[in-house]
Amino acid sequence: MNFKNKLINLNQIRGAMIFEFFSPGIPIILKNAGCDFIIFDMEHGGLSLEQFKTLAAISNANRILPLIRIPELSYNYIARALDLGAAGIMNPMVNSAEEAKKIVQFSKYPPVGIRGAGFGFAHDNYINTDPLTYIEEANNKLVNIIQIETSLGLESVEEIASIDGVDCLWVGHFDLTNFLGIPGNFKSPIYLNAIKRIICAAKLNNKSLGIMVNNKDELEMYSNLGFNLIAVGTEMSILSQGVSSLLKYKK
């Protein structure tokens, strides 16, 4: 079963988010660790599209799905990232159904969207296939992850979730608490009610739910709440904690 079908069926899928270490070995390391996907970050990290092109090729060759979080809602970022081999796009700070519709339009070929056509490049593994067959396949397999992380996005979450082509609602948990006026307070009723609202919107429209977690307790908690697309992160924190635990053990 391909990744998109797993999302449609709300299967449990696990991966990682990468913000800093854009090494060619990262996709293979994470594949060996049991990840099904990687979200490479352009919003907060220093990733370039040229770097991503290499990472996407390595990821695809090693059967770990390369996704990318772009820095802003832009046709240029969406279409180019897809042409460079991204299997899907994570869009931050989505505030309205209108913005979500633009994302779908920018990411899909006509007649569904307005993505420009170019074939025999990285996104189709440099194979000269029948363009019409490829267009349909690309539109069907593409993954659009919409981040709900602002008060405006939360207010529009039901409309956003109802849009065809939106595959996953991803909670940007820290930003969400910031915009709700409770920075970092994940036990606040305001945050917990917001999570419930997002969960209900996703369930009503049969959409996947995603989030990044920092430890096993968070992974278990959000899994039990119905989140099926979960990434671990950050890699900086994981490395720091791992080294720290070894140094303390030696003492």
Q: Are 119 and 131 in contact (CB under 8 A)?
A: yes
Tokens found for residue 236: 């900086």
> DSSP class of residue 115?
P
pLDDT tens for 190-218 read: 999 999 999 999 999 999 999 999 999 99
Identify which of 236, 198, 229, 230 has the alpha carbon closest to the alpha carbon of residue 216.
Answer: 230
And the tokens for 113?
A: 């969207």
How far, in Å, CA of 173 to CA of 136, rounded?
34
Task: State the pLDDT confidence band at 159, using cuts at 50, 70 and 90.
Answer: very high
Containing H/E element for 171? strand 168-171
Q: How many CB atoms lie within 10 A of CB 176?
A: 23
What's this model's pTM, rounded to 2 decimal places?
0.95
**Is the separation of the CB atoms in 198 and 171 below 8 Å?**
yes
Question: What's the pLDDT score for residue 125?
Answer: 84
pLDDT digits (tens, 9 = 90+) for 95-132: 999 999 999 999 999 999 999 998 888 898 888 878 88
- Domains, in order of start, for the chain: 3-250 (3.20.20.60)
* Crossing angle between the packed helical segments 75-83 and 49-61, to the nearest 10 degrees: 40
Query: Would you report the helix, strand and coil content of the chain in percent, each value rounded to 5?
Result: 45, 15, 35
Q: Please, are residues 97 and 163 in contact by the beta-carbon 8 Å criterion?
A: yes
